[in-house]
Structure 1
């Protein structure tokens, strides 16, 4: 059984874009409504001191729950077709499958979880009916700009900015305890520059 999954994974990788989704990364770098800004800043202020004392070379000794956002993404009524078109216009590749924890292959065409991106940057989103329920990112650590290309990097920044401007969204990175106002190109650029050198 494991060998068959490995063969299926290799074939999907050879055919194109196959993003990896780790269970632990679910909504860790999340895009949420702007109205949650005060809640997020308060949560970061409460969690950050606790995370510092539990930090080790291998992660954290404690788990910190930040809870559900007071204003949910689905309440913004961002349509699935709007987000898919936005990502497609900016050249994001649509994944047909997701590699879940190196353990299971998820079919994006029949499931509620979708993925668009490039080899080192993926926007995942879940839908409920015709609306987007959750949006989160997966960014490979420290990628050289040559691996992504300047054009793709600019497309990533543009998509994030459009989500900020048109949908009034913010990005929350619970790993680094950062809040990025996606209406602010300068904040987006500074955040992404950490990953692309």
Structure 2
């Protein structure tokens, strides 16, 4: 799904006049964060590697003293997450079984509030790690992650076990488009390699 489709997808979720408890877990993401660290079906490995190579080549050619002279628009995954028919209630139960907090609201682009209870975008996690997903009826449509600094071994283990369960049961991989790094979530060693970059 393209970015503009996602922005239209969010319109029904936006609510500017929400008040919530200051102690409430309220994750946030910016427009540019959407599917930037993405969890997708493992069948997309070849496509991801090809796209990563194309991005890397374009970045090398268009690098300037001030950044990059060109941008690359990623194509849609050949095998979409929606096509796998992962049920929302399965994802929610898996995440709450691992003691992830279910968000009632999401801060979007800082000034807007999305309602997770009535809207199509959901979030589970804690202050420095959130799994977001959007939905299409009872199915999960897209999954992405926001990750900060992991501050303890128990937290590292919890995130690793959660991602491994999703990877093993749903055959998912994680692609970090920021670093063009691909990790198979069915292998704990690969998850740990990724998470160690965020561990203090």
Q: TM-score, normalised by structure 2?
A: 0.86
User: d(CA) in 1 for partners of 2:113 and 2:62?
Assistant: 34
Unpaired runs of at least 5, structure 1: none
User: d(CA) in 2 for partners of 1:190 and 1:55?
Assistant: 28
Of 156, 159, 180, 2:162 maps to 159
In structure 2, do the counterparts of structure 1 residues 117 and 60 end up closer, same or farther at CA, with 3 Å as the change threshold?
A: farther
User: d(CA) in 1 for partners of 2:177 and 2:103?
Assistant: 25
2:33 matched to which residue of 1?
Answer: 25
Matches within 5 A, 1:145-156: 145=151, 149-156=152-159
User: d(CA) in 1 for partners of 2:181 and 2:107?
Assistant: 27
Q: TM-score, normalised by structure 1?
A: 0.87
User: d(CA) in 2 for partners of 1:130 and 1:6?
Assistant: 27
User: d(CA) in 1 for partners of 2:65 and 2:161?
Assistant: 34
Of 63, 73, 94, 2:71 maps to 63
Instruction: State how many pairs are aligned.
Output: 185
Q: CA deviation at 1:6?
A: 9.9
In structure 2, do the counterparts of structure 1 residues 78 and 6 end up closer, same or farther at CA, with 3 Å as the change threshold?
A: closer
Unpaired runs of at least 5, structure 2: 1-15
Q: CA deviation at 1:139?
A: 1.0
In structure 2, do the counterparts of structure 1 residues 7 and 131 end up closer, same or farther at CA, with 3 Å as the change threshold?
A: closer
Q: CA deviation at 1:52?
A: 3.8
- Listed one character per residue, the Cα deviations across residues 8-44 of structure 1 (whole Å, up to 9, x for unaligned) are 4xx54x2321101111000010000000001101111
1:112 matched to which residue of 2?
Answer: 120
CA RMSD of aligned residues (A): 2.0
